Amino acid sequence: MIYFGYLNFLDGFRSLRMPSMTPLASLYAAIPLCGALVVLFTVEQLVNGWRNGFGEPA
């Protein structure tokens, strides 16, 4: 998600939104950012589980 989202973000500089003439990359920037947040929170959950033990599934 991070890698291909970044490639999509870079490709978004070729296309413009017509009324404002801003690149579509401004919308596509959220994709790699969200991928990085998924990785961050997954690592956080794994570290907390290793330190404090994994709880029972809900």
The answer to whether position 39 is within a domain reads: yes
pTM for the model stands at 0.78
The answer to whether position 2 is within a domain reads: no
pLDDT band at 56 (very low <50, low <70, confident <90, very high): confident
pLDDT band at 13 (very low <50, low <70, confident <90, very high): very high
Give the percent of the chain with pLDDT over 70.
100
What is the spatial distance between Cα 57 and Cα 13, in angstroms, rounded to a whole number?
A: 44
State yes or no: pLDDT of 55 exceeds 90: no
The answer to whether position 14 is within a domain reads: no
**What's the domain count of the chain?**
1
Give the per-residue pLDDT at 49. Answer: 94
Give the per-residue pLDDT at 38. Answer: 97
The answer to whether position 31 is within a domain reads: yes
The answer to whether position 42 is within a domain reads: yes
Tokens in use for 6? 């970044």
The answer to whether position 34 is within a domain reads: yes
In which domain, by residue range, is 30 found?
Answer: 19-46
The answer to whether position 13 is within a domain reads: no
